[in-house]
Chains A and B, each alone.
Chain A
Amino acid sequence: MQWTWFHKFASPKWFYQITGKILPFLAWLTFFLLVIGLVLGLGYAPADAKQGNSFRIIYIHVPSNFLALAGYFLMAIAGAIGLIWRIKLAFWVMKCAAPIGIVFTLVGLLTGSLWGKPTWGSFWVWDARGTSMLILLFLYVGVYSLGRSFHSANSGEKASAFLAIVGTVNIPIIYKSVDWWFTLHQRATIKFTSAPSMHPDMFYPLLIMIVGFYLLYAVVLMLAVRAEILVRERKTNWVRTLVLK
């Protein structure tokens, strides 16, 4: 088996060039998907029988929570690839994924609490899912700040890659324990009324938004990694000619 493709992918120059070609197309696709999803979701989807119009926040809330969790695994896997095959590009992907993940987790938490106010009567309820997302935010912040507290950027990246992997091992345990804690301290007044199946008119906009958010994540991550490549490879010839051109 030829492994040249693998090493080609690990080259920052190749990554910079190929993403430069993909990005415009991807950015427009993301834009259209998000616009279509938002218009359908906010304007045309029927109002929920119990929650009225406040349910429409799921078109932001659910996709950003998806990406918050998926982004953590992407970050940890990128860190593991960097550690195992010593690929600097993978470390940069990991480094750039941390702040993006923080933003998506924050958006998920904020939209959740905005939805909680009319639905549950308070901005924050210590339920299992909300608490798990809060701890996910803390894990992200740890990886982010550990990577930026070393004098040499390389050792900071290695340390935060290890932390991301340790966090990944812990995520199922944390999630299960929080779940268990919630059932122990459950209040009777709060009920999770989720319909077993959504109406298709509600569901398709959500699906479009989820795909759109995945693409948005990819676009933002590519932009961040491209910027990181330019900074870290600033002494190479190809970056010099590119910038001075």
Chain B
Amino acid sequence: MISSSSDSPVIIVDGLEKQYRKGFFGKGVRALNGVSFDVRPGEIFALLGPNGAGKTTLIKILLGIIRRTGGNASLLGFPAGDRRGRMRVGYLPEHLRIPRHQTARTALEFYGQLSGMTKGAVRKKADGLLELVGLAGRDRESVKQFSKGMLQRLGLAQALLHDPELIILDEPTDGLDPVGRSQIRGILERLRDEGRGVFLNSHLLQEVELVCDRVAILQKGTLRFVGTMDELTPDTAGEVELKLIGSTDAIQRVLPDWKATEQRSDANQPVEVTLPAKDQAEVDALIDRLRQESISVVSMKWQGRTLEDAFLKLVGDSTGDPGRMVN
């Protein structure tokens, strides 16, 4: 367990701005526009956003790979990019490339030493970590024989090697099979339980939904949402989708606004109906009335209450609908 001296955030981003210059006199591209949030120890925080939203830019600023043009960012209490902060961070980059002359073991030794570890300390931890990420017994193999998924596993191992307080993972499940994803989820949950902060950048919303405590959604460099999963997908308001079997008259008695759009030849043919609903109690009452009319409820599904729905609603469609801003 990480013994954190305080519950102070491991990442603080305050009004962060980044403008990329284009050419020598070019006006440039604004990649981040006043982004603010924080990440606390012992939580899994996901940064979501469509391609080009500025997610990787934000991570690069935090790690000092690129410089901010405005605002502030800090990592474990140190300014973003400070070596003392980077010392306590484990990072798995997107599209990780480990030089082909390395084996899994030499790669761990190399990256471990870059993090300030001795070779001996790396050796002590290497076997356990390789086993944890599912690479046990593959340590002497050259990485050029590794699949993309195996490279990701090795990348995760090197990120965890020096017991970092904060782990930043950029698309960690990229290239992994379902079993691998499940293993990674398990590792992330374990890290959270140990009190470490996990900052996740992923496209796979279902993965995020399954493990994350809080999310931030970026769109074109602007923060659209930051909060818990419950705040993003509330169980109040929305629409409910029902699949019913019954006579047209019976259905119309319960749902007067519903109109059959086509001639139904068979009363056993299912009918799909979407209705606004305030809460579950209102839905329960409706189902009771349907049952009284001997209408069978084949299936029922709440619309707009998954992460994907919320995400799509926030970032809008490809036409550029900005969606709903949440502060």
Q: Do A and B come from one complex?
A: no
